[in-house]
Chain A
Amino acid sequence: MKKPLIASILAFATLVAACGGSAPAATGTPGTTASAASADPCGVPVKGKCPTEAQNVTGAGATLPGPLYTKWIDQYNQLTGVQINYQAVGSGGGIKSFTDKTVDFGASDVPLTDAQFDAIPGGLYMVPMALGSVVPTYNVPNVTATIKFSPEALAGIYLEQIKKWNDPKIAAENPGVTLPDLAITTVHRSDGSGTTGVFTDYLSKISPEWKTKVGSATSVNWPGGVGGSGNAGVAGAVKNQPGTIGYVELIYAIQNKLGYGVVKNSGGKYVDASLDSTTKAADGFVSPDFGNLKGQAAKISITNATGADAWPISTFTFLLLPKDFSDKSKGLAILRFAWYGTHEGQAFAKDLGYGPLPSAVQKAAEDALRSITSGGVKLLKVNS
């Protein structure tokens, strides 16, 4: 007789405890969850696990946003348990893997060429995630002041036309600085890289001669100089060799405490490279249709931007997402992740050396994410 009594008391106590708790979830008792049921767990903003999203997705692409994506992936994993494997193989590698469908999503700092767009039958969205920038770093002995570079000087140096540090084209912009009679050795990335893509895109905009002679791409036919592999290779060559100038990502220069020069922007103002001046390069950026960029590559370039305080060698970094996911559960996980990155994830950008998206671009990214489908049905549901 005693046992059932104890059991029923325990059961009663459990029920009271469950109803008394403020959390409406997980009691299993019908009725108690009804009040909170309006929020779809698979909608965004991302609040927690979604039963229908894939637990494993892979992506590959640009190295520039690598540290930021790693942070987002870690945070998203803590929220949802989803494992996202991102391989920072470079923008070109990302485009290739995405086209070959060996990964679920790609990433790139540079726009695709028309031929690359044509190779992706279902089409794709390039969704901006954050901003990065490239800075000139140099090694000129006995010069402590920050050297100022006009666009003409920078192009002249990389075209191997300005051969000495005390060339009038550099000296004129740096009154009061004693520049040595030292040969300039230019350093570039020997591996194909989105960083090179951004830098040569900038040079092509400010120098017609660069545009016709060299052009812009992730690897180009450099007029001269030394090639170093990766940011580290370039920075190492510059550090070791007096008279050198190279270009690295701002985040790399900050992390490794490299000094870098200032560059005159299109408004004629010398601006320090910083996260703020990077984000300012996207001020007034008119978002194109991110799902229809073929032949429109120039529209997503923000080098040589017009803003008064804009850093001229800045870029968006993009996720490459198919317009229509063949795998619904993977699509859902990736879109939720991208939403997380473009919203909550932006809070981490500055700490890691990236410029956060301006709100207008964030809105445009939202629109792009919301239009992506699987089997013709839109995937993302935004909870109010």
Chain B
Amino acid sequence: MTRSIDRAFAAGVAGLAMLVPLTLMAITVLVLIDSWPALTTFGLSYFTTTEWDPVKLIFGAAAYVYGTLVTTIVAVLLATPIAVGAAIYLTEFAPRAVRAPVAFTIELLAYIPSIVYGLWAIFVMVPVMRAVVEPDLQATLGRLPVIGKLFSGTPIGLDLLSGGVVLAIMILPILMAVSREVLLAVPPTQREAMIGLGATRWEAVSRAVLPYARPGIIGGAVLGIARAFGETMAVTMVVGNSSRDISGSLFVPGYTMASAIANQFVEADSELYFSAIVEIALVLLLVGIIVNAVARVLIRRSIADRPAGAVV
């Protein structure tokens, strides 16, 4: 009797568990079917051209891919040092009483709905970017050769840089949480050995702790990238939503893949237009799966041999 209950129970939960991968498969197949007309019509030129013309039904998503890459890179470059610095402070230096509240506050950022970030960004951040940050950047870094090009054009606040900054704030919590986790997983013997050899705290952290945690931190950054890739609402509100060309400047309005879907799918009234938008979703889906898989491998590698004594 009990045996049959067990068997039924096992079969039940196995079924429930199967639902998740089945859903993912169903979504992938559906997206593939819906994007088929665009896939076959445009082929590779979909990824290499920037002309997105719903009137003439010519679709090239290169500008969207570019916008997504640029905002994501800006976000990760800004957020990683802050997140790692905060994580080092919390695990190595902060008094015990401070650790939990600070960590909790940073992780709270993850629970703020993205529309709230968007509203804050459009009313508070964008005016500051336009009036202060961007003119200042232009006056300083903008004068340098080569990288000065990044800061050319009229500062308008609704551009790739603003999109990247909002994303940086949004991916901070996950970067912070993962970094803190992997730093805590570094065996205490690592630091003790360094300090025992007469190393300073700086030397202990930079030579013993960080190298040990590096794959995990990179994994966290990759998870941040995955989040930044798919983030829609807040970016859409500040990125400028305009995709004419790839100019190399951060001060031009851009467009990300996710915002292109959000903005356009409702009014996509012809089959080819709709299918071109679904193809963006297909790209996002595949990139998301790949990026998450990479991140998982990296994080696992760094936490795998966590010693029993390490407390989270």
Residues of A within 8 A of B (CB): 89-93, 95-96, 113, 115-116, 183, 185, 188, 190-193, 214-229, 233, 236-237, 240-241
Are B122 and A96 in contact, CB atoms less than 8 angstroms apart?
Answer: no
Contacts A95-B269, A188-B242, A217-B54 aside, 7 further interface pairs with beta carbons under 8 A come to: A91-B267, A185-B156, A191-B267, A192-B266, A220-B53, A227-B253, A241-B156
Report A-chain residues with C-beta under 8 Å of the C-beta of B51.
Answer: 221
What are the 8 closest A-B residue pairs judged by CB atoms, nearest first? A192-B267, A227-B241, A92-B267, A190-B241, A215-B55, A221-B53, A93-B266, A92-B269
Q: Does B270 contact A (CB under 8 A)?
A: yes
A192/B156 in contact, CB under 8 A: no
Q: How far is the CB of A103 from chain B (nearest CB, A)?
A: 14
B237 within 8 Å of A by Cβ?
Answer: yes
B214-243 interface mask toward A, CB cutoff 8 Å, 1 = contact, 0 = none?
000000000000000000000011001110
| Nearest CB in chain B to that of A160: its residue | B244
Contact partner, B267, options A113, A215, A219, A229, Cβ 8 Å: A219
Minimum CB–CB distance for B143 against chain A, Å: 20
Interfacial chain A residues near B253, Cβ < 8 Å = 225-227
Check A115 against B270 for contact (C-beta < 8 Å): yes
Chain B residues with Cβ under 8 A from A220's Cβ? 53-55
With contacts A217-B55, A225-B253, A241-B157 taken as known, whether A113 is within 8 angstroms of B270 at the C-beta atoms is yes
| Contact between chains at B267 and A218 (CB < 8 Å) | yes
Contact of B158 among A91, A95, A116, A226 (CB under 8 A): A226
CB distance from B132 to the nearest CB of A (A): 14
Residues in B lying within 8 Å of A, measured CB to CB? 51-56, 122, 126-127, 130, 154, 156-158, 236-237, 240-242, 244, 253, 255, 259, 263-264, 266-270
* Bound-state Cα–Cα, A233 to B238, Å: 10
By the criterion CB–CB under 8 Å, are B127 and A224 in contact?
no
Interchain nearest-CB distance for A232 vs B (Å): 10
Q: Are B267 and A227 in contact (CB under 8 A)?
A: no
Inter-chain contacts of A228 with B (CB < 8 A): 158, 241
Question: Can you list 9 contacts pairing A with B, beta carbon distance less than 8 Å?
Answer: A92-B269, A219-B267, A220-B53, A226-B240, A227-B242, A227-B255, A228-B158, A229-B236, A240-B130
Least Cβ distance of B122 to chain A in Å?
Answer: 6
Contact flag A226-B242 (CB < 8 Å), given A221-B52, A240-B126? yes
Report the Cα distance A192→B158, complex, angstroms: 19
Could you say which of A96, A183, A214, A224 contacts B242, with CB atoms under 8 Å apart?
A: A224
Alpha-carbon separation in the docked complex, A304 to B127 (Å): 37
Given contacts A92-B266, A92-B269, A192-B264, is CB(A183)–CB(B154) below 8 Å? yes
Chain B neighbourhood of A217, CB < 8 A: 54-55
Q: What is the bound-complex CA distance between A89 and B51, given in angstroms?
A: 26
Q: Which residues of B contact A188 (CB under 8 A)?
A: 242
Nearest CB in chain B: distance from A224 CB, A: 5
Q: Which residues of A contact B158 (CB under 8 A)?
A: 226, 228, 237, 241
Q: Complex formed: what's the CA distance from A254 to B192 in Å?
A: 70
**Which residues of the partner chain A approach B237 to less than 8 Å between Cβ atoms?**
229, 233
